[in-house]
């Protein structure tokens, strides 16, 4: 098996066949093959049992605990065909993972900027509807847990967490009553889904749809993994 720091598995062999082959001389250990998990610790423990079964000298397990991999990445994207409904997103993220234990789960911290122009419909006193576009700018510092459904070249994912966020709200003038701009700081729940696909080494095309204080529009753009 060959994998990247991002958790993408490039090649994965049938490890059951290999474990069955190396333990065929020890019946009691060979019976445990199907219960061995696909990770370094489980396989190392299994090989140790094989060695102790075949040898008069007790073998020693030199397995080392998996190291945390820290992956910096940037993403810039937006809603390219939204008209007045606009979305721009840019973020820098540090992704912490243990690829030798779980290639699909990571903990992410970083800084995120989003600008969302959304349409709202209001009614005047005489019930005359009018459109009111509001520009929501959010600068946040998120902490999320992300789960990638696959470890292939194309990886759909979802994430959940929270952030501390600075918010700037600015309604657009429309000829009716326009609420004044508003600024505040608060804590926000974050959840989102997305998909990213590797183009070349380190460079991904990515689509991300996020809820953070408001349901933002999907952002489509490029991500680079350092």
List the chain domain ranges. 2-54, 69-225
User: For the chain, how many helices (H) and strands (E)?
Assistant: 3, 11
- pLDDT by residue (tens digit) across 20-40? 878 888 888 888 888 887 777
Please report the pLDDT score of residue 128 as a whole number: 60
The verdict on domain 69-225 having CATH code 1.10.287.3510 is no
Residues 187, 110: contact at Cβ < 8 Å? no
Mean pLDDT, rounded, of the chain: 83
Q: Quickly state the pLDDT bin for 219 (edges 50, 70, 90).
A: very high
Please report the pLDDT score of residue 2 as a whole number: 45
Residue 43 has pLDDT above 70, yes or no: yes
Distance of CA 15 to the CA centre of its chain: 27
Task: Name the more confident of 4 and 100.
Answer: 100
Residue 127 has pLDDT above 70, yes or no: no
- pLDDT by residue (tens digit) across 54-84? 666 565 655 566 688 999 999 999 987 767 7
Any idea of the CA torsion for 4, 5, 7, 11, to the nearest 10 degrees?
Answer: 20
Closest alpha carbon to 104 in 44, 150, 162: 150
Residue 11 has pLDDT above 60, yes or no: no
Q: Where are the alpha helices (DSSP H) in the chain?
A: 15-22, 27-30, 40-54
Please report the pLDDT score of residue 122 as a whole number: 61
Distances (CA, A) of 124 to 128, 150, 172, 178: 5, 50, 16, 12
pTM: 0.70
Closest alpha carbon to 46 in 67, 70, 66, 26: 26
- pLDDT by residue (tens digit) across 157-176? 999 999 999 999 887 766 56
**Range with the largest mean pLDDT of 24-28, 50-54, 128-132, 206-210:** 206-210
């Amino acid at each position: 098996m060959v994998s990247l720091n991002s958790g993408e598995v490039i090649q994965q062999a049938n490890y059951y066949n290999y474990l069955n082959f190396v333990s065929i001389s020890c019946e009691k250990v060979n019976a445990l093959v199907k219960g061995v998990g696909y990770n370094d610790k489980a396989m190392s423990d299994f090989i140790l049992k094989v060695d102790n079964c075949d040898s008069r000298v007790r073998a020693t397990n030199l397995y080392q605990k998996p190291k945390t991999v820290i992956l910096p990445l940037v993403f810039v994207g937006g809603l390219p065909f939204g008209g007045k409904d606009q979305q721009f997103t840019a973020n820098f993220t540090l992704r912490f993972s243990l690829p030798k234990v779980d290639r699909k789960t990571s903990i992410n911290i970083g800084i995120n900027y989003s600008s969302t122009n959304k349409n709202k419909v209001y009614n005047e006193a005489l019930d005359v509807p009018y459109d009111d576009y509001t520009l929501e700018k959010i600068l946040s510092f998120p902490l999320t847990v992300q789960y990638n459904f696959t470890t292939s070249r194309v990886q759909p994912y979802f994430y959940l967490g929270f952030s501390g966020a600075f918010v700037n709200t600015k309604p657009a003038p429309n000829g009716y009553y326009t609420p004044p701009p508003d600024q505040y700081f608060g804590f926000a729940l974050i959840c989102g889904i997305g998909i990213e696909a590797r183009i070349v080494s380190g460079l991904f095309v990515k689509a991300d749809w996020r809820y953070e204080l408001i349901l933002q529009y999907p952002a489509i753009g490029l991500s680079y993994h350092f």
